Every structure is written in C-alpha cells, then in structure tokens.
Chains A and B, each alone.
Chain A
Amino acid sequence: MAKPKVATASLAGCFGCHMSILDIDDRILKLAELVEFHKSPINDIKKFSERCLVGIIEGGCCNEENVHVLQDFRKNCDLLISLGDCATMGGLPAMRNHVPLEECLAEAYLHGPTVHNPAKQIPNDPEIPLILDKVYPLHEVVKIDLHLPGCPPPADAIWEVLVALLNNKPIDLKYGLLRYD
C-alpha cells in the first residue's frame, strides 16, 4: 500500500514551525517510513499532483497569495492542520490588524525609523501579491480540522499529533505540549 502523503506550507509565518517539524530529530527517519512528503518547502515540490492525507500549514493569511495557497491545500488534502500561533490566531503579523493598511505601508516603507528609501516608493510591482485588510487566522478562510498552537509548537507535540493521526488514535498531549508561546 502506498504511504499516506503529507504536504506543508508556510504562509505569513517565519518558518519557525517548519524548523520545529525538523526538530523531531532522528524521528524524522521514522516519519519518512510512515509518510511521503508531497508539496512542501522541505522537498521543493511546487504543485499538487496527488491527493494528500494531511496538509500542515504554518502562518496566517496576510495576502492574496496566502489565500490561494490555503484554498489549494483545502482542495487537495483530507485533513488540514493549522500549525503555530500565526496560523491559529494571526500571530505577530496580526499586530498590524489594529492599524489601517495605508498607515502600515507608510510606516514600513516611508516613515519608519530604520527606513532608507530616497525614492519614497512603496513597492508596487504587479507580481507582488496584494495585502489583505488584516491578517486572518486560517480557520477564518477555510475549514480547519486540527489546531496546534505554539510559537513554535514543540517538536514533540507535532510528532504526537502526526503519529496519532496516522494511526487513527485520539490525540492526547501530555501537559506542557499544548502551549501558546
């Protein structure tokens, strides 16, 4: 029987949650026996060509591309895991949610204390995805099956969740694995 497939992506995140996936250390070998990684920054597969059992998403949605990637994951994965605080509640990027977009851009590219931008231009290349009015937690954009918070979630928590899912067992994290920091 073919191994179940797992896809991952980082949206408006810092890749810290992906680092935490890798932090499962030598268990990564065992994981490689259990599953096959499909579309993921880990192997640089760019497009879905097969259906996946699990999609793991780090980061919230801060721009249009994030939304499209997330919707693509929803379409191609049976289960979606919202991994880390940015995915579950917006995280650090969501601090801009209290500031109107125009002010955010002006602060970032024109008036911020460390800005050097003699041309006074806000990046506006047609290739750059447009920014959303605020950063959205993933479950406000698509249905999410499982949330695992943390900044990042501990590697042990990620391991426990994956193993439980793959073996169709209930998830029961021991104290200290569910965390928000």
Chain B
Amino acid sequence: MSGPVSRNRRLGLAAVVAAVALLPALESDFQRGLDSDAVIIALLVLSVVVLTGFVGQISFCQYSFAAMGAFTVGALMDGHGWSFWLALPVGVTVAVLAGVLVGIPALRLSGLLLAVLTVAVALFTDRFLLVTGTWDGFSGGAVPWHPSRPSLLGAPLTGSYAYYLFALAILCVAVLLVWNLRRGRAGRVLRAVRDSELAAATVGLDVTAWKLAAFGLSAGIAGLAGALLAVRIGSVSPGSYDFLHSVQLTALATVMGVSAIAAAPAAGIATVFGPELLSGIAVSSTWFPLLIGTALILQLVLVPEGAVVRTRHDMARLARLVSGRRGRDPAIAEAAR
C-alpha cells in the first residue's frame, strides 16, 4: 500500500489527466458546463470516500456541508462584495467547522444512530436554516445570491473552458492530497480505528481527534465543492443542496465503492453523463436516480465490495493469470495459516 508508485502508472495517470484536460477544448460551452459539474460531483464523492471509506461512517448530509461553502461564498461575494479568493477559504472553514460539529456526537454514537443524526442535520439545514426568513444574511432570503466568477492571476475564469480547467486542477490537487493521506499515516491510523477503537486507544491514538479530523476534512472537501458549484452556476439556492441530493450522492459513491479514491472521478462521470446518455436513448434524464437506486440494490446484494473495487480485483486477478505469477511465497502462505 505504501510502496513506491510505479513509473508506468504515473505516466498513465498523467496521460489520462492531460486527455481529460484537453478534450473539452473541442466541445461546446454546454458540454463544458457539464464537464465542470462532473468535476464538482467527483469532489463531493471524494468527500464521501474520506468519511465512509476512511472512517466507516455513512453520512446523509454531505450536501449540507457543500451548502455551508456555497452560501458562505455567495453571501460574502454578493452580499458583502468580497473577492472569491477571500470568500473561498472562509467558506471551506465554515464547512470544516460544521463537519466537526456533526462529528462530535459521532464520538459517542454508533454508526447507525449517527446516520440517523445526519438525516436530521440535512433536513434541519435545507428546511430550516436555508429557508427564507430564518437567516437571510446567510441564505439570501427570497432572492438567491449571485456570486460572479473570479479571475486567476489576471486570467478571467468566466469562460466555460477556463472554469473547467480551474475546477479540474482543484480536483486533481484534492485527489492527490487525499491519496497521500490514505497511503501514509492517516490512512493507516483511520483503518486501525475502524478495526478496533479499543486497541487504537491503547497504542496511543487519540481516536477522538482523528475522527473529528476526518469529519472536518470530509466536510471541508464538500464545502470546497459547494463553493465551486456556487460560482459555476452563478446562483445559490437551497434546492440544489437538499437531503435527496445527499442521499443520491451517498448511493452513487456506494455503488462505485467508497473505499477507492477512483470512485470519485467515476461517479462524477456517471452522474453527469449518465442522464445525458439516457436522454440520448430517448429516456428522460429524471430516471437517473432510479437507475442509481436500482444499481445500488443490485450491487449490494450481488457485489457488496463496490464496482470499482471489484473491477480492480478482477483486473489484478487477470493480470496474475496472464503473467502466470504465483500469488504468495509458499513459506509465507504456510506461516499465514
């Protein structure tokens, strides 16, 4: 897990990223908008991977964390005239704080009860906090916030391709950071906590701090995605961040396999281009959540470890078969028994 990444794999990844960055140059503005959405959804799924894949906690309020980022950025930019570059870190910080706050009960509650609590948090956010009249200084009230797109080092991000590249760059950085965490100490520690909290505490791990850190990180990534979505659409309204969005996100991430970072881009591509494909074959795109739900049911019953993880296992097995290598040294296999 912590071994050096092979050169070939690095080159392969670089090629994929380059292709993903360059291909939209040939596309229409509308298509590029969808591409940006795919990137933002990938970021949201990444936040699920951090929480569910690393800590083993299901959350149904990831879009509420995204809303923290989006509405903070909306309120500060549109309401107070802040620059995006100042509003963004504040938005992410607010989301991190919200995540830590939701994480505090997680220290006492079982995963099941915390899942219930996240539903309550989601409904509290989208049906109370963001409702007109509760706190219009944050939610924008009857008129949604309209944050405009910023420019980066003098280059405006108003063009669809420029914004896509910007979002993609952020996604790549986030994936890289999470990946580093996962294959290093944090990944090890969090898997240890998931295996046995008791043992983790007795070898000196501050289980509380690690869990809260993971909640904060997950919420922060979701908040970042929310902020990006706010300026991508150019308007922030509560309907885009409700409970059902969170449910759909969690379902999607689970279908792809929450333990794999690769689930994030895969899910991003699926959510944005799935509905497009559906409308291509004359089925309304509103069917898409139905398909996700069905896929999740089938997957949980038939392939419980997740599509991406399963595919990777199958590929690995295939590779072993092809190369004819033995799986394990016989001496070790014996010791393992």
* A and B: bona fide binding partners: no
